[in-house]
Amino acid sequence: MHDDSIRKRIIDTATRLYVTNGCHKVSMNDISAEMHISKRTIYQHFENKEELLKECFNNLRQQSDAVIRDLRNQIESPIIIMLANFKYITVYSSQLHTLIKDVINYYPDVYDSLFPADPDKLSGNMYSALYRIKQKGLLRPNVNINQMVHVYGIIMHNLQTKFYSVEATNLIFENCYNILRGILTIEGVKYLDENEDAIRQSIDKIKDIHYVL
């Protein structure tokens, strides 16, 4: 079997086990047993568990990027895109709860390399969506986009790096929904209210995303 194919299989298998069980309890022996290969084969591709863990998060982020791209291709409204981003990050937080907790507690160096300390770096999509909302005349003129992006960045950073139940992430989404409603013009609020059912149905499809491969 080609080396690249084996490497991908290792990453996919480790990602599935880490997401399901957390990374602390899953050893290299567990991964090799799951794949029916030797542990030596894994170490031929990855120097240590920390390196493999980073690649698994890169794997998860590639899935995330694909989801966001699909959302942008399917949805024209920047208001819906912004809400979809929030819904997506709450799903991400609830599904990866155990894995992220383990990384913080047992692999802090990996955590520091994976999650930027500056929350603004996480919210580039939000800036784009808010700017497009403003261009359409649906954002109140006194709203400072940079300040809102910073607020949203803090929320997203907390969702990605702290531990919340599904109920809590749903509540956070509703709060973000209300924040967005509060910074829209009358026309923007009207659009949101008149299309609320359709918007929520569209966004709720994101709940079907699963990170277990």
**Domain segments of the chain: what residues?**
62-208
Distance, CA of 164 to CA of 175 (rounded, Å):
15
What is the reported pTM?
Answer: 0.76
Residue type for 100, please? I
Largest CA distance in the chain: 63
* CB-CB contact of 61 with 89 (8 Å): no
Task: Give me the sign of the Cα torsion angle 171, 173, 176, 177.
Answer: negative
Average pLDDT, the chain: 85
The owner of tokens 């609830």 is 94
The residues near 60 (Cβ < 8 Å, ≥ 6 apart) are 15, 19, 96, 211
Q: What is the mean pLDDT of residues 62-80?
A: 77
Contacts 24+ apart (CB under 8 A), 136-142: 136/78, 137/185, 137/187, 138/79, 138/184, 138/185, 138/187, 138/188, 138/191, 139/183, 139/184, 139/185, 139/188, 140/183, 140/184, 140/185
Q: What is the pLDDT of residues 118-167, one digit of tens each?
A: 655 556 678 888 999 999 999 999 999 999 988 888 887 787 777 677 78
Give, in order, the Cα–Cα distances in Å from 1 to each of 9, 40, 191, 197, 213.
11, 16, 54, 50, 21
The residues near 23 (Cβ < 8 Å, ≥ 6 apart) are 49, 53, 56, 99, 102, 103, 106, 107
Specify the pLDDT at position 51. 97
Q: What is the mean pLDDT of residues 47-64?
A: 90
pLDDT band at residue 116 under the 50/70/90 scheme: low
Say yes or no to pLDDT of 213 above 50.
no
Give, in order, the Cα–Cα distances in Å from 98 to each of 33, 35, 150, 167, 182.
22, 22, 27, 16, 34
The CA R_g of the chain, rounded to the nearest whole Å, is 19
